[in-house]
């Protein structure tokens, strides 16, 4: 009777192991691997959250870069000998407005209510199935005072000296992410590549890692590729 009941359970559930009585060792292995798979699924969700944060910051910094290109154009234009004092004053006014707009972008860019580019954000993301496998996104400060020395090099707006814009030590995005965690390889060009590595190394072909319990596990991720935002 016991054997018949066991067979019925297997037929109804589709699983070879339904209790410890069927295969105690196999059930223990299955539970451990199931826990690891669930942890990896959660890690992939966290990675996608990190990608979303970086995408928002990246879009805002693209706008700041466009403003800096315009500021450089104004600085070069101010170096023309045909400009009058009023011309230089107008160029300087637009330049300063661009600088204020860059600071506005830095202080007003937020994600989930948190300011991203004002230098105060520090996001810790668990990116592995085990404790200590974390990624930290920090040091994202796009305010003009932190991007580098930006100087309108004229004695006054009416000076006949050539205007010049100096942007020294521009490191926007040079260290946006500090990576911790013993299993995270910082050589990945994108976080999506890390997700793909989890899928291929831990669960090849989207199959369950143990055939004894036939759970149809698969690990997937979503999101657009964004190059250049993972750096040492």
Distance CA 95, CA 71 (A): 6
Query: 195 Cβ partners below 8 Å, 6+ apart?
Result: 44, 47, 48, 221
User: What are the DSSP calls for 43-104, one per residue?
Assistant: HHHHHHHHHHHHHHHHHHHHHHHHHHHHHHHHHHHHT-TT--HHHHHHHHHHHHHHHHHHHH
- SS3 call for 187: coil
* Least-confidence region, from 108-117, 149-158, 174-183, 204-213: 174-183
Mean pLDDT score, 120-137? 87
Q: What is the bridge-based pairing of β-strands 110-111 and 165-168?
A: unpaired
Q: What is the pLDDT of residues 79-98, one digit of tens each?
A: 888 999 999 999 999 999 99
Mean pLDDT score, 209-229? 38
Q: What is the pLDDT of residues 178-199, one digit of tens each?
A: 333 334 444 555 566 656 665 6
Integer Rg of the chain from CA:
28
- SS3 call for 26: helix
0.85 exceeded by the pTM?
A: no
Per CATH, the number for 23-206 is 1.20.1330.10
Q: What is the pLDDT of residues 4-33, one digit of tens each?
A: 666 767 667 767 777 766 778 888 888 888
């Amino acid at each position: 009777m016991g054997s018949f009941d066991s067979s019925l359970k297997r037929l109804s559930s589709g699983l070879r192991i339904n209790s410890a009585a069927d295969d105690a060792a196999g059930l223990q292995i299955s539970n451990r691997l199931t826990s690891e798979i669930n942890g990896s699924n959660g890690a992939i969700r966290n990675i996608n959250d990190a990608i979303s944060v970086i995408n928002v910051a990246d879009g805002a910094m693209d706008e700041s870069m466009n403003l800096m290109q315009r500021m450089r154009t104004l600085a070069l234009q101010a170096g023309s000998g045909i400009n009058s004092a009023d011309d230089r004053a107008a160029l300087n006014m637009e330049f300063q407005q661009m600088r204020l707009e860059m600071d506005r972008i830095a202080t007003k860019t937020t994600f989930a209510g948190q300011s991203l580019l004002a230098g105060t954000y520090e996001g810790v993301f668990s990116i592995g199935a085990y404790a200590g496998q974390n990624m930290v996104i920090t040091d994202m400060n796009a305010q003009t005072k932190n991007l580098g020395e930006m100087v309108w090099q004229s004695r006054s707006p009416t000076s006949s000296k050539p205007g010049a814009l100096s942007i020294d030590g521009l490191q926007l995005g040079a260290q946006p992410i500090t990576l911790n965690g013993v299993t995270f390889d910082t050589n990945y060009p994108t976080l999506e590549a890390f997700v793909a590595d989890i899928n291929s190394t831990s669960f090849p072909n989207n199959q369950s890692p143990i055939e004894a319990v036939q759970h149809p596990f698969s690990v997937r991720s979503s999101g657009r590729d964004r190059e250049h935002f993972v750096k040492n």
